Structure 1
Amino acid sequence: MTDMARAVRYRTGVPVYSYRTTPGVPPVSVLRMDAMHQTGDFRQHIHDFPVLIYIERAGELEVGVPPTPAADGDAYVVAAGAVIDPTRAAGLGAASALYFDPAALAGDGQASWRAHPLLFPFLHGIRGGLLRLHVPPDRQPAWTAAIAGIERELADRADGYQQAALAHLTLLLVDVARLATDVVGDLRRSNETMLAEVFDVIQRRFTEPLSLRDVAESVGLTPGHLTTVVRRRTGRTVVDWITEHRMIKARRLLAETDLPIGEIARRVGLPDAGYFTRVFRANNGVTPRDWRRAS
């Protein structure tokens, strides 16, 4: 598991990882999976953020449920919230896993990552949590170059390296969105409209007191049913997403303004400054003041 992810909770005994958002952590990281194989780091786990795996050389790799042989140029879109079992990665040739902070990709610091059009494929519900795509041969050198470009930017850390790394990643995600057109269309014709309504409510009202019941009433569902659907589709609860919106806004205000902590707390819907500080630290690993100093 990359150092850029941290286990934040467990679900039925399986660790759930979030992308680290502490200052100085780049918004995208690359894990060479053949190196992971050498260390024997194969455990079931869950990501609550997008992960993209690219197979440059498959070797004898088998992937999916049921396991099927991978091919050179395969790309696997890892569903957020799905239990991933990597034990079938024996015989791996050359493959890379791209981990990234979806909020950084959105750019404006406000929209939920699942509302980003390039990230919609990561909400698929395919068994085993892996959507298999195949990169055409004429695009495979570009994928290899883009991943190498991300690694180079992360190693050098020259001015603008984060933006450059995200630019490489964005080009890959454009390819993913194009390759996944049919799958995305199927999902849009299912229950995506309801999820869009849920996130619209959260986006409009997260700066005020907002509960699961409030969101459920707004979309005409019971809190229990809404929780089940959102968790199954995104790997997180409605309350998790309300908190995520608040934390994105809070981090931006801390970094870009000199507003007092109490005023920032009020602006993100948590008017009790002490409670805001506890929530911020639980989700970001540092206090708001420490985040501001580091930024």
Structure 2
Amino acid sequence: MTEMARPVRYRAGVPVYRYGTAPEVPPVSVLRFHAGAPPGHGQRHIHDFPVLTYVARAVSSPEDGSARDGDLYVLAAGAVIDPAVMTRIAEGYGVFFDPAAIGGEGAASWSSWRAHPLLLPFLHGIPGGLLRLRVPPERQPAWTTTIAAIETELAGRAEGYRRAAVAYLTLLLVDVARLATDVVGDLRRSNETLLAQVFEVIERRFAEPLSLRDVAGSVGMTPGYLTTVVRQRTGRTVLDWITERRMVQARHLLAETDLPVGEIGRRVGIPDAGYFARTFRHNNETSPRAWRRAFTGA
């Protein structure tokens, strides 16, 4: 993986990685790999954030289905990924990102993924979690240049580097959406309405007391059935997503306002200040006040 991602739990013995949320962690990160260092250290793993794997140069031009120059793998969050299928890569890049960066300030990381056109390709649901696309030869130099530009911004960390890195990432995601036109069309036509409704309810009501039973009642499902569906499709539970949405908003308010911590807790649907602090620490590995100090220097 990358230093920006860490395993937070295991599912059936497979590590589940989460994108870092510390103030110093950029919204995008890049990992270079080659034949001697395959993606994911060659081990099966799961991640709960989007990943692109781009093959700049394959070991050869095989006919056995392994990687070719310009191959692009769109990795589905929540799926078990076996890097062994991405073989014969001489030079490649993993582009990891926090989906909250794509949705705009204060946006939930996945709460609007059914609506965001740049994130739809990551919902492909292909067995094995890998959607394989091909970047046309005439676009391959642009991909290498754009990824290098992201690396330059991350290395220099000059003022505005976060916005610059996301801008370059957006260029890549626009290309992905165009290359995956058929897949995205299928997703739009398929029965994705239930999950869309779940995230719509969370987006609308996360700032108030909200339970699994509340969400299930809003979409006309039993809590048990809804939990199963959401976990199978996303790798996380409804309560996980409620908490994630609240934490995204809490981090935004801590960084962009001078509101008291207790007031921020109330604004994200956790009126008990002590419980809010414990929840924030559990999900961000630091206290709300420490987060604010690290992000603002105040």
Q: Displaced runs of 4+ in structure 1, greater than 4 A?
A: none
1:102 match: 99
Residues 111-145 of structure 1: CA distance to partner in whole angstroms, max 9, x if unpaired?
A: 44324220111111101100011111111111011
Identity of aligned residues (%): 70
Paired residue type of 2:178 = R
2:265 counterpart of 1:265: yes
**1:53–1:275 distance in 2 versus 1, CA, 3 Å:** same
What SS does structure 1 have at the residue aligned with 2:147? helix
Q: Distance in 2 between matches of 1:15 and 1:135?
A: 30
Residues 247-294 of structure 1: CA distance to partner in whole angstroms, max 9, x if unpaired?
A: 011011111112111111111111111111111111111110100111
**1:49–1:274 distance in 2 versus 1, CA, 3 Å:** same
Displacement of 1:176: 0.6
Q: Distance in 1 between matches of 2:104 and 2:286?
A: 22
What SS does structure 1 have at the residue aligned with 2:68? coil
Q: Is the 8 A contact 1:37 1:90 kept in 2?
A: no
Q: Is the 8 A contact 1:61 1:89 kept in 2?
A: no
Q: Distance in 1 between matches of 2:264 and 2:89?
A: 48
Q: Distance in 2 between matches of 1:26 and 1:38?
A: 23
Displacement of 1:195: 1.4
Q: Distance in 2 between matches of 1:61 and 1:278?
A: 53
Q: Is the 8 A contact 1:120 1:184 kept in 2?
A: yes
2:79 match: 82
Q: Distance in 1 between matches of 2:263 and 2:235?
A: 31
Q: Is the 8 A contact 1:60 1:69 kept in 2?
A: no
Paired residue type of 1:270 = I
Displacement of 1:225: 2.0
Q: Distance in 2 between matches of 1:274 and 1:36?
A: 48
Q: Distance in 1 between matches of 2:258 and 2:28?
A: 28
Q: Is the 8 A contact 2:66 2:86 kept in 1?
A: no
2:254 match: 254
**1:39–1:178 distance in 2 versus 1, CA, 3 Å:** closer
Q: Is the 8 A contact 1:44 1:86 kept in 2?
A: yes
Q: CA RMSD in A?
A: 1.9
2:82 counterpart of 1:91: no
Give the stretch that moved more between structures: 262-271 or 233-242.
Answer: 233-242
Q: Distance in 2 between matches of 1:215 and 1:39?
A: 37
Q: Distance in 2 between matches of 1:265 and 1:106?
A: 22
Give the stretch that moved more between structures: 167-176 or 178-187.
Answer: 178-187
Q: Distance in 2 between matches of 1:107 and 1:36?
A: 37
Paired residue type of 1:245 = R
1:44 match: 44
2:285 counterpart of 1:292: no
Q: Distance in 2 between matches of 1:292 and 1:270?
A: 18
TM-score, normalising length from structure 1?
A: 0.93
Q: Distance in 2 between matches of 1:209 and 1:36?
A: 50
What SS does structure 1 have at the residue aligned with 2:42? coil
1:207 match: 207
Residues 170-197 of structure 1: CA distance to partner in whole angstroms, max 9, x if unpaired?
A: 0000011111111111122222222111
- Aligned pairs (5 A) from 1:5-24: 5-24=5-24
Q: Distance in 2 between matches of 1:111 and 1:236?
A: 15
TM-score, normalising length from structure 2?
A: 0.93
Q: Distance in 1 between matches of 2:39 and 2:224?
A: 41
Give the stretch that moved more between structures: 86-95 or 146-155.
Answer: 86-95
Q: Distance in 1 between matches of 2:133 and 2:40?
A: 26
Residues 202-234 of structure 1: CA distance to partner in whole angstroms, max 9, x if unpaired?
A: 001001111111111101112222222222222
Where does structure 2 lack aligned partners over 5 or more consecutive residues? none
Q: Distance in 2 between matches of 1:189 and 1:38?
A: 35
Paired residue type of 1:15 = P
Paired residue type of 1:145 = T
Q: Is the 8 A contact 1:34 1:95 kept in 2?
A: yes
Give the stretch that moved more between structures: 195-204 or 222-231.
Answer: 222-231
Q: Is the 8 A contact 1:227 1:238 kept in 2?
A: yes
Paired residue type of 1:182 = D
Q: Is the 8 A contact 2:56 2:144 kept in 1?
A: yes
**1:173–1:282 distance in 2 versus 1, CA, 3 Å:** same
Q: Distance in 1 between matches of 2:159 and 2:242?
A: 33
Residues 78-98 of structure 1: CA distance to partner in whole angstroms, max 9, x if unpaired?
A: 000001111344532111010
